[in-house]
Structure 1
Amino acid sequence: MPASAPGPIPSEPAPASVPGPGDIVVEGATGSEAVERALGGRQSEPGRPTEAPPEPPDGWRAGERALRYGTVAALALGAALVTGRPWLLALAAGPLVLLALALPRTPRAGHLTATVEVAARRCFEGEQVVARIAVVHDGGEGRLDPGITLGPGVRLDALTVGTAHLELRFTAERWGRWTLGTVDVDLYDAGGVARRTVRVDLGEVAVFPLPAAAGLTPIPVRLPTRLGEHASPQRGEGIEVIGVHPYVRGERQRRINWPATTRRGSLQLHQFAAERAADTVVMLDVLGDIRDPVTGLSSLDETFRAAAGLVRAYLRTHDRVGVVAVGGTTRWLQPGSGDAYFYRIVESVLEVRKDLVQRDPELSRLPPPALPEGALVYVFTPLTDQRILVVLDQVRSRANPLVVVEIPSGDPPAPRGDTTAELALRLWRADRDAMRFALIERGIALIAHQPGQTLDLALAPLLRTRIRGGSR
């Protein structure tokens, strides 16, 4: 697992199979000839959903060897009839003899089934997913030949073909809920002149985004009355000293502040801050996916990676964290705590990207349970759609402390010398500046996160003071 992953995903990995002496092992990148032949040009292009191939025909049919022999024999017979030269019939005899010798001596399989087992249905970006297909038939031994239709979010790295099984190794390239694809397994008879096809659906995998590096957890002014690890202005049984107070009979004498006692002439004790937990809600702007024309980075990818890092940081301090995805169908999960809650949060929004299908990005009002009273709200947005301002107004109307984390999306390309394109670029930048100015004027904290950098660099200015909420 990559070093930045939050921890092992709770699942039972399947035991790795070792190729036998009769197995054909094909491995390497997707550019290898055998892997390309298995894919057959059926790997979806980036940004497009996978098109399902037509259903394979039922029953036995002629294989490639029978078609080649039959084609040569038919051409020789046709040439003999057209030209009237009997010696051309001898050219047809050879393929027919080879076809007769290739006929199987054992009965063909009448029953053909295939079962699939996929190890690690949940993984992080860059990890491998292994699919094993077992083929069972009641005929003589034959050769297996797979045809693979690959899903959009994974890459086929290696293929192992045995006498009765196949093993495929994929690499999860992008976060989301992806369909691995389908495999059409061709079973040839012993002579290789006939084949039968069975289709295997590999199912779906959930690919989690790699969390960005983050460790800082800014807190709002008001904290709920629940035990945690954040120092509160209220007096309590914590470890952070916030002042001194006169000794009251019954208090612990080990807390005496001797310097203050000496100055004031009476017993003074340390006063500690109460430790409270925070409620945090991470809001994701999924109104659109903007790709930087220079770096090729996706704003949606960076949004989820940065948000995952922030969620992990707050969960480590035993705070409650919730999530809201704005755009299309509003998806939300009430705040909760615990290490396992990280996976619940991520899985709740994986449907945002499923096989790269674009959904109608309509806005709907935020449900009241999604934003608890006083919860600190982080909004991750590229600030490219002005409709996000409507959502921010809803949050501010509930007096929740609010922080907007801007995800850079890059400027649209403008050819040098093109006056119209340069003017459009200036208007684009002016519109972004106007949105930033509107947020600052409303008293909303605005920070910028740079991809590849730790999120703590953007969160550091928020530690100077506690984040205040709006007004109802």
Structure 2
Amino acid sequence: MTGPTAPVSPSTEPESTAGWAPTPALGRAVLLAGLLLVAGVLLGRVDLVVLAAPFALGTAYALRRRPTTLPQVWITAGDDAPLVEGGEVSAAVSVGNPDAVDYDLVVVRSRVSPWLRITRAGFAGADPAADAAPADATPAAGTPTAGTPAGSRRSAADRPFVTSVPAAEVVDLELAGRALRWGRHPVGPAGARVATAGGLLVSRAVLTEPVGVRVYPRTEPFEAVEAMPRAAGLVGAHHSRRPGEGGELAGVRIFAPGDRLRRVDWRVSLRARQLHVAATLSDRDAEVVVLLDVLAEAGRSGGVNGSASVLDTTVRATAAIAEHYLHRGDRVSLVEYGPGARRLRAAAGRRQYLTVLEWLLDVRADASQHEPYDQVFGPQQLSSDALVVVLTPLLDERSAQMLARLARSGRFVVAVDTLPANLTPPKDRGWAEVAYRLWRLDRETMIGQLREHGVPVVRWAGAGSLDQVLRDVARLATAPRVGSR
């Protein structure tokens, strides 16, 4: 999560009356006092002059000290701790009074992303019943209308809040709730308007820029078998077929120059009356390329505890796969199959995992009429030894063609179906339902053709989704190949 932003500059106008305007109450007080005085003088009635005196004196007393600067507004978004879907989010909209005059009334309102369910909002130490405000006392900041999650309800931050701010002090409007979905969600913009001098002067609306809150995807516990098609690195957790320093026993052989003494098998040596050493297989790390198909989106996102769209499944599955293989010491890289062709280079370690989470926050579905294959898989951009895990809903024919081309190029490809299982047919009249069933049949035919081309297609189901597929791919990679003379 990001830290506080700098306070908004009050104004660039002269400090005398910049940003402050008289209220209708001031106009009515001046008009009434003036009419009574003029009528008293013209009619010679002292009682009218006496009646006008309280209005004139009260207005003059209220305006004896007028503000010279506008209020300052800024947003603070929680702390620096990583925030995951379903976690508690906190933010504060601060209103500062840099003037020497008290602010009698401050109306604050902030826009909040619909994916941040704000359930508690109020000023620190204030009575919650005092936070109500009339509907017409609203600053220039609206409520979100687009991107509202399914089944959403009105947020506690959608209404204006009222307080007072003494001179040279700051009041915080605290917002607390839950983060419903991964991504970069804005808190703000926030606005405030101030009334002072007994309600006779009001400031213009002071706005501040929004602050982004980073919400990482929640990863389900994911495990996969150790079988990898081919290990290319020098160190790692996967056993290769090459002899070397490792933990997998390959057999026992006679001691040779260069063998280490700690490898001597004393039991066999005593029986054979000749030194024997334990031969091991070397350990290798593998490179895993996770390819995200972002050509199309389907389904509706319901947040962390609701239904999952294609992007939700894709992002959460990518985070789980990356966490698993990076924890084992493998190298992981990410690639987007789309017009943007974003790419994250292969690396290992916890820093790479944090980089993966940051990279996933910017995943967006982006349709394109052009074939992005050559843009994504350029020369020397994809290792021939890497395991390519393709997360795709198979909604676009170009996705199936991409998988077939990868398989024909000799790479080890596993396709993970991210289409929601509970995708409902359209409710339109006519042939919509029949067309949906025909599309489903055509898609199943496409998946069958991919399997005939040697591309295993498996539906994402969390832990164990790829076990059998990885075993089959590893078995095919180590099987002898028939060559032609």
TM-score by length of 1: 0.71
How far is the alpha carbon of 1:462 from its aligned partner?
A: 3.4
Q: 1:123 aligned to 2:80?
A: no
How far is the alpha carbon of 1:404 from its aligned partner?
A: 0.9
Q: Which residue of 2 aligns with 1:299?
A: 310
Q: How many residues align?
A: 395
Q: 1:155 aligned to 2:166?
A: no
Kindly provide the CA deviation profile for residues 5-54 of structure 1, in whole angstroms up to 9, marking residues without a partner as x: xxxx8x8x88xxxxxxxxxxxxxxxxxxxxxxxxxxxxxxxxxxxxxxxx
Q: Which residue of 2 aligns with 1:34?
A: none
How far is the alpha carbon of 1:97 from its aligned partner?
A: 8.9
Identity of aligned residues (%): 26
Q: Which residue of 1 aligns with 2:244?
A: 236
Alpha-carbon distance in structure 1 between the residues aligned to 2:56 and 2:438: 77
| Alignment CA distance shift 1:385-1:99 (3 Å) | farther
| Alignment CA distance shift 1:346-1:158 (3 Å) | same
How far is the alpha carbon of 1:111 from its aligned partner?
A: 4.3
Query: Which amino acid is 2:325 matched to?
Result: Y
Q: Which residue of 2 aligns with 1:388?
A: 399
Secondary structure of the 2:242 match is: strand
Q: 1:444 aligned to 2:484?
A: no
Kindly provide the CA deviation profile for residues 398-443 of structure 1, in whole angstroms up to 9, marking residues without a partner as x: 4321111112323653489977344223212212211211221111
Q: 2:184 aligns with which of 177, 194, 197?
A: 177
How far is the alpha carbon of 1:278 from its aligned partner?
A: 0.6
Alpha-carbon distance in structure 2 between the residues aligned to 1:298 and 1:97: 66
Alpha-carbon distance in structure 2 between the residues aligned to 1:189 and 1:387: 64
| Alignment CA distance shift 1:406-1:120 (3 Å) | farther
How far is the alpha carbon of 1:286 from its aligned partner?
A: 1.5
Alpha-carbon distance in structure 1 between the residues aligned to 2:293 and 2:325: 20
Q: Which residue of 2 aligns with 1:256?
A: 265
How far is the alpha carbon of 1:307 from its aligned partner?
A: 0.9
Q: Which residue of 1 aligns with 2:418?
A: 407
Q: Which residue of 2 aligns with 1:24?
A: none
Alpha-carbon distance in structure 1 between the residues aligned to 2:115 and 2:425: 31
| Alignment CA distance shift 1:405-1:218 (3 Å) | farther
Q: Which residue of 2 aligns with 1:40?
A: none
Q: 1:166 aligned to 2:180?
A: no
How far is the alpha carbon of 1:301 from its aligned partner?
A: 0.7
Secondary structure of the 2:232 match is: coil
Alpha-carbon distance in structure 2 between the residues aligned to 1:369 and 1:207: 34
Q: Which residue of 2 aligns with 1:311?
A: 322
| Alignment CA distance shift 1:275-1:107 (3 Å) | same
Q: 1:226 aligned to 2:234?
A: yes
Q: 1:186 aligned to 2:193?
A: yes
| Alignment CA distance shift 1:102-1:328 (3 Å) | farther
| Alignment CA distance shift 1:349-1:257 (3 Å) | same
Alpha-carbon distance in structure 1 between the residues aligned to 2:120 and 2:386: 47
Query: Which amino acid is 1:223 matched to?
Result: A
Alpha-carbon distance in structure 1 between the residues aligned to 2:222 and 2:182: 19
Aligned pairs (5 A) from 1:359-370: 359-361=366-368, 363-364=371-372, 365-366=375-376, 367-368=378-379, 370=381
Alpha-carbon distance in structure 1 between the residues aligned to 2:423 and 2:70: 58
Q: 1:59 aligned to 2:19?
A: yes
Query: Which amino acid is 1:179 matched to?
Result: P
| Alignment CA distance shift 1:279-1:194 (3 Å) | same
Alpha-carbon distance in structure 2 between the residues aligned to 1:210 and 1:415: 30
How far is the alpha carbon of 1:281 from its aligned partner?
A: 0.9
Alpha-carbon distance in structure 2 between the residues aligned to 1:151 and 1:415: 28
Secondary structure of the 2:440 match is: helix
Query: Which amino acid is 2:202 matched to?
Result: R
Alpha-carbon distance in structure 1 between the residues aligned to 2:276 and 2:348: 38
Secondary structure of the 2:297 match is: coil
Aligned pairs (5 A) from 1:67-78: none
TM-score by length of 2: 0.69
Aligned pairs (5 A) from 1:426-445: 426-445=437-456
Query: Which amino acid is 1:438 matched to?
Result: Q
Q: Which residue of 2 aligns with 1:207?
A: 215
Query: Which amino acid is 1:305 matched to?
Result: R
